[in-house]
């Protein structure tokens, strides 16, 4: 299923900047960045639960915000994009 993850991490101090880097790194491990703090991740249910737990442990719920949107398996009809696209789609093959 396609999961859209957005976050807003308070970076007013060094701890916040560290949290921001950790959140971004975990999201990169599971999906692709489509905007600065927005990631598209193709996950199964177990991966989704794992990533949610990891991110919840990283953020400070008093200062940061994490939003997770579950778009399901038929996400192609739910996404409309206008403008420059960053990279390849999450469901396309990447050959290195």
What's the angle, vertex CA 16, arms to CA 13 and CA 22, rounded to 5? 145
The pair phi, psi for residue 88, each rounded to 5°, is -95, 160
Q: Which residues are annotated as a binding site?
A: 8
Question: Are the C-beta atoms of residues 5 and 55 closer than 8 Å to each other?
Answer: yes
Q: Which residues are annotated as a binding site for Mg(2+)?
A: 8
**29 vs 47: CA distance, rounded Å:** 11
Place of tokens 């308070």: 10
């Amino acid at each position: 299923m396609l999961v859209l993850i957005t976050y807003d991490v308070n970076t007013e101090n060094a701890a916040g900047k560290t949290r921001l880097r950790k959140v971004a790194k975990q999201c990169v491990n599971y999906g692709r960045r489509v905007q600065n703090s927005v990631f598209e991740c193709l996950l199964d249910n177990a991966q989704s639960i794992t990533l949610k737990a990891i991110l919840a442990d990283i953020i400070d719920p008093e200062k940061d915000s994490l939003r997770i949107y579950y778009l399901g398996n038929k996400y192609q009809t739910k996404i409309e994009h206008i403008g420059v696209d960053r990279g390849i789609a999450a469901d396309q093959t990447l050959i290195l």
